[in-house]
Structure 1
Amino acid sequence: MKNQVIEKAISICGSQVKLSQSCGVSQVAISYWLNGGGFNAKYIPKIVKATEGKVTELELLHSLSSTEA
């Protein structure tokens, strides 16, 4: 199941590669996050910054809790 919030972040940044560069991870990691693999909470501030606040901490936290269900 795709993580809709990560999908939104990718769309805002323009590509998985651009989001990965902003977060300091590989494009493969972004793909993993996108496809429901979950991500470490330490990346939340980096994703928020990369999207200029268009993806919020709360959205990201909710997306993490929904992937654990």
Structure 2
Amino acid sequence: MIRIVQEAAEKAGGIVALARELGIKHPSLHSWTRVPAERVIKIEKLTGIPRHRIRPDLYGDSLEAAE
């Protein structure tokens, strides 16, 4: 499992809790090589992890986000 999903799961109360909130089965989270674009905002709202950390390729890094 990718690191950002592990971190999100910890903040959400576990992998099963995160999957439940996303409306998916928890094994799906293990197959992600990156967070799907359509899941970024929901994960940000659930966990407080900024979108630019979840998918910097879509939202830029933190320095770009501040500009």
TM-score, normalised on structure 2?
0.72
Say which one has the larger Rg: 2
Q: Is the 8 A contact 1:17 1:27 kept in 2?
A: yes
Count of paired positions: 58
Q: Percent identity?
A: 22
Structure 1 spans left out of the alignment, 5+ residues: 65-69
Instruction: Name the TM-score, length of structure 1 as normaliser.
Output: 0.70
**TM-aligned CA deviation for residue 63 of structure 1:** 7.8
Paired residue for 1:6?
A: 5
Match of 2:45 among 29, 45, 49: 49
Gaps in structure 2 of 5+ consecutive residues: 59-67
Q: CA RMSD in A?
A: 1.9
Q: How does 1:18-57 map to 2 (within 5 A)?
A: 18-33=17-32, 37-51=33-47, 53=48, 55-57=49-51
Moved over 3 A (4+): none
